[in-house]
Amino acid sequence: MKREYWFYGIAVVTGILVWVAVSNASGRREAWDSQWYFLVSVPVVCVVSAALGFVEPSKPWRWGVAPLVGQFSWMLFTQGPGNLLPLGVVVFGVLSVPSIITARIGAFIGSKRAK
């Protein structure tokens, strides 16, 4: 059980770090306003989600959602809720789909390896 807490931490911190890195590198206030978010951040989050799904294959969707929860939390912490908060929640939900899929693929491969 404690191992899962570390995995949650890795996933959330990865999401925050790629958000901050892309935001700072692009000079944009919000990372997803930059093309680099989709070229760098999304693939990094997907790779981490797949790796976590591989290592801990039970309920792999959580490894795909956790990095986006980190990004959402960081955006709320640094910029406040704003008037487009509901739209932001929807967008983060849509953006979590690729990382959920890759986490499930990692879990599938990880569960086949365990047999």
Structure confidence at residue 1 (pLDDT)? 63
Is 105 in contact with 50 (CB distance < 8 Å)?
Answer: yes
CA distance 54 to 114: 10
**Ordered per-residue pLDDT tens for the chain, 115 residues:** 688 899 999 999 999 999 999 999 999 989 999 999 999 999 999 999 999 999 999 999 999 999 999 999 999 999 888 888 899 899 999 999 999 999 999 999 998 876 6
Structure confidence at residue 73 (pLDDT)? 95
Model's pTM, two decimal places?
0.91
Instruction: Count structural domains, the chain.
Output: 1
CA distance 108 to 37: 27
DSSP three-state, residue 81: coil
Its domain, for residue 97, covers: 2-114
Cα–Cα distances in angstroms (integers) from residue 101 to residues 18, 27, 76, 80, 85, in the given order: 19, 30, 26, 30, 25
Length of the chain: 115
